[in-house]
Amino acid sequence: MHLIETRELTHVYRGSIRALESVNFIAERKARIAVIGPNGAGKSTLFKHFNGILKPTSGGVLVRGEPITKENLREVRKFVGIVFQNPDDQIISPTVEQDIAFGPINLGLDEETVAHRVEEALRLLGIEDLRERAPHHLSGGEKKRVAIAGILAMEPQVLVLDEPTAGLDPQGVEDLVTFINRLPEDYGMTVIFSTHHLDLVAEMADFIYVMDRGKVMGSGTVEEVFARP
């Protein structure tokens, strides 16, 4: 059984934009998967199917072998956490600490567990010193870390990151690479991300999907995808 699988997944937005066309995608436990391709290739649209934010026009999405339904949507969203490209969309609280606590509180966890998860997330992202700050006044890179910490505090098994390296300075990128690489080893997590930084893909991913105009043009290990003549 795969953690996430799409079968001939097709998504047509209102009107007639065919954003995904028969996409077959598989994510296994502890995998690091990069989805690459130009703007408009369908990467974000694909990600939004992983936790039921969008519904397939045709084809299907299986999470732990089960289709996403009204009944299991909450469980699916606990299992698959998505950090979107624009961190402002996910920041809602007056302080960083409260912002990160929002997800775990929503899951109905007790106060002590929430506090513990917030600490862990602050530490993992290296943002302990930002805890009292107002998220809206942080830099883009700091906001990004807060957004990732907030999703991480819900302890998803699968972490999906839409363009996590966009707008980061070189140190920020390096920290992110280190962070992503720890998740499968230390926490048994699966990481799926899109990026334009092709130079980083070899360091950050075991498996790559190449998308263009809604289709998967190729997939394979880093060696397979980049070694083509």
Give min distance, CB of 171 to ligand ADP, in A. Answer: 26
Considering only residues 123 to 182 of the shown chain, the ones binding ligand ADP according to CB under 6 A are 151
Using an 8 Å Cβ cutoff, are 80 and 27 in contact? no
Closer CB to ligand ADP, 51 or 165, in the complex: 51
**Residue of 5, 27, 34, 42 interacting with ligand ADP (CB under 6 A):** 42
Q: Is 121 a binder of ligand ADP (CB under 6 A)?
A: no
**Residue of 56, 81, 87, 135 interacting with ligand ADP (CB under 6 A):** 81
**Residue of 41, 114, 118, 146 interacting with ligand ADP (CB under 6 A):** 41
Give min distance, CB of 170 to ligand ADP, in A. Answer: 24
Q: What's the sign of the alpha-carbon dihedral 84, 27, 18, 210?
A: positive
Q: Cα 152 from chain centroid?
A: 10
Nearest to 6 by CA among 85, 95, 86, 80: 80
Give min distance, CB of 114 to ligand ADP, in A. Answer: 14
Nearest to 192 by CA among 201, 117, 118: 201
Closer CB to ligand ADP, 3 or 82, in the complex: 82
Using an 8 Å Cβ cutoff, are 145 and 66 in contact? no
Which structure tokens are listed for 68? 């996403």
Which structure tokens are listed for 155? 């302890």
Helices (H) and strands (E) in the chain, counts: 8, 10
**Residue of 3, 82, 148, 173 interacting with ligand ADP (CB under 6 A):** 82
Q: Is 6 a binder of ligand ADP (CB under 6 A)?
A: no
Phi, psi of 52 (to 5 degrees): 75, 20
What residues line the site for ligand ADP (CB under 6 A)? 13, 17, 19, 37, 39-45, 51, 77, 81-82, 106, 151
